[in-house]
A = this chain, B = another copy of it.
């Protein structure tokens, strides 16, 4: 019988698509096998287990996000960079909700340390180059930015903003204005 040509990469990619279509939590070994027309047991030659699959999808998502952010950030500084980062991040989450959810997966420390999440963190720091912040405020600010971006996307995609009036597009723009103002006027302790 003909082989389907499975590899860990193809499975990861297909799993990511599936996540975007039906939700990350519904990505299952069985569902993935069905997509390739093979038995679920067959996937275990390529994947250690279902957790391994989820981890691979998470790592893929982190790579893609870091790539996007990197190219969005190239050649920009200050508020320009802040907005580019924010838009790239949010757009990715809207285009790929399943992958974005995957990227929130808690990884083993070693795996996380070797992931594109590190690059991502570095780029968040890079945004602040255009602002006059010394340590440890720089780190506090990085954490604040990460919190706002992640929190906003998470609440928005969860529908928390659906039933009050200004559109989320407008809020997003004003939030970025506010963050820019804050970074330019970071309060002394």
Contact = CB atoms under 8 A, between A and B. Distances in A.
Interface of A: 25, 104, 106, 109, 112-113, 121, 136-137, 139-141, 143-144, 146-152, 154-155, 158-166, 168, 170-171, 174-175, 177-178, 180-182, 185-187, 189
Contacts of A182: 178, 181-182
Contact of A178 (B144, B159, B180): B144
Report copies per complex: 2
Contacts of A159: 106, 109, 112
B139 A165 contact: yes
Contacts of A158: 104, 106
Contacts of A186: 178, 181
A154 B150 contact: yes
A66 to B, nearest CB: 15
B140 A147 contact: no
A177 B138 CA distance: 14
A59 to B, nearest CB: 15
Nearest to A151: B151
Contacts of A121: 164
